[in-house]
A and B are shown apart, each in its own frame.
Chain A
Amino acid sequence: MSRIDDYVPVAGASEVEELRLLAARLEGKTIRNVNSTAVGGGVAEILTRMLPLLKELGVDARWDVIKGNERFFAVTKNMHNALHGMDVPVTGDDLDFFVDVNRRNAAEMDLASDILFIHDPQPIALVERKGDLGGKWIWRCHIDFTDPRPEIWAFLKGYIERYDGAVFSAPAFSRPLSVRQVLISPSIDPLSDKNRDLGEDEIDRVCAGYGIDRGRPIVTQISRFDYLKDPVGVIKAYRMVKEHMDCQLVLAGGGATDDPEGLRVLDEVKREAEGDPDVLVLFLPPASDIEINALQRASSVVLQKSLKEGFGLTVAEALWKAKPVIASAVGGIPLQIAHKYSGILTRTVEGAAFWIKQLLQEPEYARKLGVNGREHIRANYLITRHIRDYLLLFLSLYFEKDVIRL
């Protein structure tokens, strides 16, 4: 596990020093995180990495997990899909059951803390205990909120507005609310296996294992096999490029083997790629972080042609490796890429093809985009910035004004 001083060489000594200054102002405050799972998923992953660092900084940060049965998680999965705009049934009975499970958890858990930091919809109704427990309560939304179904939004809004504030990952997720809303983007850990520096021999080994020729241009998209990532659109863009120049396409990603839709998309992609030895479709097993890291580093251009996206951290990962990235202007991607400065934003297959050709033929411009992209990630999307935002958020609960002198 990394220690806070390990981040000095990548984030800078003054950045880490500022974290210490902020953490000192939270002395004596207890911060309790609550979510619905201890392992698996982005929330558990970030809490696992972040909590030891917060503790090392002297912050009394804790983490509890609510309990739920199969029905509870089936309801929350449907709520999750409904928040993405999907037409799934969430009945009044389901919502009553959801609240009931929250109340049982609230009765059993020790929630006494100065700050309650509640993650995602599953434990949202714990806030019913705000009146008797006191403390400051924040709801942290990690999911895409661009197009929620109105009835689910209305249900959640009733709870969100009981909190002292809500935190979203991208501006597009913000909605009119009577409570403060804060923007805190997710982050990447530059010291993790997915992002740490790799030797050329490690990159060579991974590429050789997959039969990728490092002597020719490599265009890559890393993402799970999902219609919303538009892998077939990526192959179409590649074909337009291939008419004019030599390159290889790598489509790599994981996914649950019990997800029927994921397997259907994978089959479709394989069919689309059939007969072209320069299109490589890789279904990666879990714990393929070093392989993903190597594939990104071996790439000439990285794509993220999503039709819809939460934040799109694969973009940050590729930019951190100083790669020129062509990505769709959806979800949190425009926060990570300023068009033509730190990457390219596109909206169509034709646009993606046009920019792949440009970047393959203008390596100096592509290099500059990559260098700028890496600096943008260094300044804004590393875990140290994420910790800083959380510390500022906690401190902000005790002040009213726009300018706060500590």
Chain B
Amino acid sequence: MSEPFRFHTRLNLVELLGRRAGTVRELLTGIREVPGASIYHHTHRFLQQHHFLSPEPPNDFAYWISGSLGLNDIGERLASIDTVRYRRINDLRTRYVEILEEALAARRNSWPVCQESDEFHFMSCRTFIIPLPAVARDAGEFLDILGRISVNSLYYHVFESRLWLERGENDFAVWFEARGDHELAGALARLDPYTITLEGLRQEIIGLVRRHVQDR
């Protein structure tokens, strides 16, 4: 018998690193050097702040390269990084570095410099994880709680724990796997949460678990 599932929530405090970039090269240097929390913040901020939008705007790096430097080709490549493939924040960082290095190696007559008011500001975040009173002992209780937790809690169990805390899979998949519900766990692990709103994701997960309960 597996442990009950304890729901948590997470809240972020955004920090400013006092570091700016006005060119692709400065952005690249920053991406190489800032802490992992900063990479996580800039690749997930839009997901958190625009969780109701689909399609949501891309990551901060892509948005800035396209919007402020007008380099739509590089912006599109950065926006298309398949974040769900990465299980460690440093691997994700490496992918951004590779794309920017490749771009810089390509010949261009000149590289744009953004206006001073448009500079990229590196930020970071501190993550607070708080246990909630809600505990699920079986799939029925899980469904009931999942329907009413905050988007912050949903976000924590799906995005934060998998990539930022580097647990490999989202917490829901891990719990159902431990319960022996391998098929459901597999379906939950295969979800791409980056291309759906958080409310859409909640409904998707509820649908998967409900079908699983009905089929038993």
Q: Which residues of A contact B50 (CB under 8 A)?
A: 338, 341-342, 372, 376, 379
Q: Which residues of B contact A392 (CB under 8 A)?
A: 11-13, 126, 128
Q: Among the listed A18, A171, A399, which residue makes an inter-chain contact with B11, where contact means beta carbons less than 8 Å apart?
A: A18
Q: List 13 A-B contacts (CB under 8 A).
A: A12-B150, A15-B150, A22-B130, A174-B17, A175-B18, A183-B15, A341-B50, A372-B50, A392-B12, A401-B126, A403-B164, A406-B130, A406-B131
Contacts of A349-400 to chain B: CB distance below 8 A: 372, 375-376, 379-380, 388-389, 392-393, 395-396, 399
Interface string of A324-347 (1 = CB under 8 A from B): 000001100000001101100000
Contacts of B121-167 to chain A: CB distance below 8 A: 121, 123-132, 148-150, 152-153, 164-165
Stretch at the interface among B51-59, B76-84, B90-98, B185-193: B51-59
Given contacts A183-B16, A375-B52, A379-B49, contact A172 B121 (CB under 8 A): yes
Residue A402 CB within 8 A of the other chain: yes
A18 and B18 contacting across the interface, CB-CB below 8 Å: no
Q: A339 to B58: give the CA distance in the assembly, Å.
A: 12
Q: A181 to B128: give the CA distance in the assembly, Å.
A: 17
Residue B194 CB within 8 A of the other chain: no
Q: A183 to B67: give the CA distance in the assembly, Å.
A: 22
Q: A176 to B20: give the CA distance in the assembly, Å.
A: 10
B130 and A21 contacting across the interface, CB-CB below 8 Å: yes
B196: shortest Cβ distance to chain A, in Å? 16
A residues whose Cβ falls under 8 Å from a Cβ of B: 12, 14-15, 17-18, 21-22, 146, 168, 171-172, 174-177, 180-184, 329-330, 338-339, 341-342, 372, 375-376, 379-380, 388-389, 392-393, 395-396, 399, 401-406
Q: Which residues of B contact A18 (CB under 8 A)?
A: 9, 11, 130, 150, 152
Given contacts A22-B11, A388-B11, contact A330 B18 (CB under 8 A): no
A102: shortest Cβ distance to chain B, in Å? 25
A144: shortest Cβ distance to chain B, in Å? 12
B114: shortest Cβ distance to chain A, in Å? 11
Interface string of B38-69 (1 = CB under 8 A from A): 00000000100111110011000001000100
B128 and A182 contacting across the interface, CB-CB below 8 Å: no
B79: shortest Cβ distance to chain A, in Å? 13
Residue B200 CB within 8 A of the other chain: no
Q: Among the listed B13, B17, B18, B49, which residue makes an inter-chain contact with A380, where contact means beta carbons less than 8 Å apart?
A: B49
A329 and B118 contacting across the interface, CB-CB below 8 Å: yes
Residue B14 CB within 8 A of the other chain: yes
Residue B109 CB within 8 A of the other chain: no
A182 and B16 contacting across the interface, CB-CB below 8 Å: yes
Q: A21 to B129: give the CA distance in the assembly, Å.
A: 11
Chain B interface residue bracket vs A: 35 or more
Q: A15 to B16: give the CA distance in the assembly, Å.
A: 24
B residues whose Cβ falls under 8 Å from a Cβ of A: 9, 11-19, 35-37, 46, 49-53, 56-57, 63, 67, 117-119, 121, 123-132, 148-150, 152-153, 164-165
A171 and B53 contacting across the interface, CB-CB below 8 Å: no
B128 and A329 contacting across the interface, CB-CB below 8 Å: no
A338 and B13 contacting across the interface, CB-CB below 8 Å: no
Q: Which residues of B contact A404 (CB under 8 A)?
A: 126-129
Given contacts A14-B148, A18-B150, A341-B50, contact A172 B117 (CB under 8 A): yes
B64: shortest Cβ distance to chain A, in Å? 10
Q: Which residues of B contact A171 (CB under 8 A)?
A: 16, 121, 123
Q: Which residues of A contact B123 (CB under 8 A)?
A: 171, 183
A180 and B129 contacting across the interface, CB-CB below 8 Å: no
Of all chain B residues, the one with the shortest Cβ separation from A15 is: B150
Given contacts A342-B50, A379-B51, contact A168 B16 (CB under 8 A): yes
B16 and A181 contacting across the interface, CB-CB below 8 Å: yes
